Chain A
Amino acid sequence: MSELTVTVGPQHPGSGHFALIVKLDGDKIVEVIPDPGYVHRGDEKVSENKNYIQNIPHFERPAILDASNMLFPYVHAVEDLMKLEVPVRGQYIRVIMAELNRIISHLYYFAIYGIFVGHSTMFMWPVADREHFIDLAQMISGQRVGFAFLLPGGVRNDIPEAVKERANEACNYFEKRLIEYERIFMNNPIFEKRAKGMGILSKEDAIKLGVVGPTLRASGIKSDIRKDEPYAVYDKLDFEIPVSKDGDSWARAWIHIEEMRQSMSIIKQALKDIPSGPVKLNLRGQVRPPPGETFTRAESSRGAVSFYLISNGGMTPYRLRMITPSFRNLRAISHITKGLLLADLPPAFWSLDYWPVEADR
């Protein structure tokens, strides 16, 4: 059969809000050209018209699933320029919210992965189990999805007393569930046949293409900003970074499961070690960094997110650039899908944890 060009377009049950132009030879993929931009809202331009507090809910919208992780470098950038010192209790609460977000986002990853592979039970279970963690987040911040919880100088409010017990309950329940996930999904022979050896990204290619996050760690490079450049109180907490040498889709899914285990361990430690004290600095609403520029980064669920802030002393930023992990992983999509069958295209690009809204901003 001659070459056929199919658009796995924005209106397709097997794609997100972006298009993939796929050149097929029969059922085999010859080339994939990603076509992002369907959800581009001009976040960077809009942020120049909003002041620094208005930018907080604005910049958690691109990756609404792990909102707190996205805000970390932003508040660090503002605090860096203003030379603010965040109280320790506030930092612990930030870490707790960040790890909760990581679990919530990873469970959504598994839900959609299940759908793309045709496993409807793997869609239902993570969505149901997420509710426990979303309830926890609601107890802490009052919101289920878009928290706007981190502020320059701390967090918005203190955590209630019942959170500790509820979090321990949720973590104990979920640790047992993770074993069941492994049995029904990761060790399922049909899924193993489909995912092992599929979409391999070698170590050199991973470095050359500049990928980040679980994709990078699945290709054998141990790089995690929480360990390389510890921020908040990550240097006081004890956790590991899972790394795999295979670089295929199964390894990427495995890393997500291990990261969820580590996140639960971090949450338990943080709730045990948290000191008392204030949770935020009283800035009296005056958030106005002096002129200067700074580049900060943090580790969100999908990879390293960075902010480049240039301030000229005004009420609004002069230039605020947000570099999201999905944008950095975009090139890997065309690379790992060469030579796959069309049926493997959605599982392959989803295993990179590509979130279109985040890439387009």
Chain B
Amino acid sequence: MSEIRTFPDFLKRSSIVLGVSVLFIIIIFGALIYTIPAVSNFKDVLLELIGINSLFFKIAVFPGYTWAALIATEIIWFERKFIAKMQLRVGPLYAGMVGGILQPIADVIKLVFKEMISPSKSDKLIFYSVPLLSSAIGASLLAVLPVSDGWLIMRSDVSMLIVFAVIGFVPISVLLAGWASNSKFPFIGALRGLHQMIAFEISMLIAALSVVILSGSLDLVNIVQAQSRIWFIVLMPIGAIVFFITLLAELERIPFDLPHAESEIVMGHQTEYSSMAFGSIQLGTYIRFYALSGIFTTLFLGGWYGPQFLPAGFEIINQIEWFTLKTLLVMVFIIILRGVNPRFRLDLLLKFGWSRLLILAFLNLFIAIFILQMGWFPFTGGI
């Protein structure tokens, strides 16, 4: 295997492998479902229970947990490779056929075999509940994410509220992790995380509120359907920028990774976690990354809308494709930001979040109300 030296080379190889593997999975799964030799009754019952249209399939496989976990894992790989290329390095290289693509899986296997340690005076119940909480938050966000028109796990009239309620849980998990570790550095990291998230959540809410006003409904599917002609990022660019920045803060990504600033407080609130507890927290973080980027796509980038490039009859897959493509683009942009920026300091961060960002969010709200009153934007339903 020759070493990958240039970026176009790497793109070529990775796209070939990814395309082939996805195709392979689809073919095998389809074949399995339709060729189980049995009484047709049994086949029908089975199909109903775990077939492609059942709830189990949606939750567990696609677009549910397995799909999100796969994306999370490969985003970890992609991030490491991409940042490495930006930094004149090579990144993962040996695990797997193409450029270390199986590296995150190797990391997971390594983590499974490590010893799970916790500090002696820590509160074990809370300490070990945080990884579960983290994964649960990620999974709940996935439940309302509209991957396509009709193909989603749960459709509800108030899915926007659900999203924000779940996001509001994240600072609690940070605080629990820091407190239950019973040690100085995680505690400092947890407090910093709380400060940061509380400062940015309000601006996030207000930016999302302007989208709700324009589209006239709290249902995420309706919000996407309201963007069938024009995306909201064109109507409210300020709101998109505000939401994007608060997204970075909620995910604790550079430049807002103050809660786990390595050079000062080792790893912040996740310092004392090891083995699969740590693995679960990381998985939960990256699933949250995917879910929140998906929400950004839903709110501002037009959800699943895109030109139909597959033949008719495959509309759903077309929509899924476009949604996934847009979400992945958002994630790549966030990764680029990581490579270029240093870290914010706490007082600058709070000043920024409470003054400038809030003002911009309110400005955006007024713009949205203005557009609505002027009747420039048609909407479905009313507020």
Contacts and interface: CB of A to CB of B under 8 A. Distances in A.
Given A124-B88, A190-B255, A118 B346 contact: no
Interface in A35-75: none
Interface string A94-121: 0000000000000000000011111111
A343 interface: yes
A154 interface: no
Contact of A194 (B261, B263, B342): B342
Nearest to B348: A193
A66 to B, nearest CB: 23
B88 A128 contact: yes
Interface residues on B, range: 20 to 34
A13 to B, nearest CB: 5
Given A13-B264, A125-B88, A343-B264, A117 B346 contact: no
Interface string A115-149: 11111111011001000000000000000000000
Nearest to A8: B264
Nearest to B258: A343
B340 A346 contact: no
Contacts of A193: 345, 348
Contacts of B261: 118, 343
Interface in B334-367: 339-348
Interface in A260-284: none
Contacts of A122: 342
A287 interface: no
Given A119-B341, A190-B342, A346 B263 contact: yes
Contacts of B345: 193-194, 341, 343-344
B260 to A, nearest CB: 10
A342 B345 CA distance: 10
B341 A116 contact: no
Of residues B261, B264, B346, which shows the largest number of chain A Cβ atoms within 10 Å of its Cβ? B264
Contacts of B348: 193-194
**What is the interface of chain A mostly: helix, strand, loop, or mixed?**
helix
A120 B263 CA distance: 11
Of residues B255, B345, B348, which shows the largest number of chain A Cβ atoms within 10 Å of its Cβ? B345
A188 interface: yes
B122 interface: no
A121 B86 contact: yes
B254 interface: yes
Contact of A341 (B88, B339, B343, B346): B346
Interface string A169-205: 0000000000000001100101101100000000000
A115 B263 contact: yes
A38 to B, nearest CB: 19
Contacts of B272: none
Contacts of A14: 263-264
A188 B342 contact: yes
A245 to B, nearest CB: 24
A341 B348 CA distance: 11
A120 B347 contact: no
Interface in B93-149: none
Contact of A121 (B87, B258, B264, B346): B87
B315 interface: no
Contacts of A185: 342
Contact of A114 (B86, B266, B342): B342
Of residues B255, B339, B343, which shows the largest number of chain A Cβ atoms within 10 Å of its Cβ? B343
B48 interface: no
A85 interface: no
B263 A121 contact: no
B157 interface: no
A124 B84 CA distance: 9
Given A13-B264, A118-B261, A342-B264, A188 B87 contact: no
A249 B86 CA distance: 26
A341 B350 CA distance: 14
30 contacts: A13-B262, A13-B263, A14-B263, A118-B254, A118-B255, A118-B257, A118-B261, A118-B263, A118-B343, A119-B341, A119-B342, A119-B343, A120-B87, A121-B86, A121-B339, A124-B87, A125-B87, A128-B87, A185-B342, A188-B340, A188-B342, A190-B255, A190-B341, A190-B344, A194-B345, A342-B264, A343-B261, A343-B346, A344-B345, A346-B264
The 5 closest A-B pairs by CB, nearest first: A118-B343, A124-B87, A119-B342, A117-B342, A128-B88
Interface of A: 13-14, 27, 114-122, 124-125, 128, 184-185, 188, 190-191, 193-194, 341-344, 346
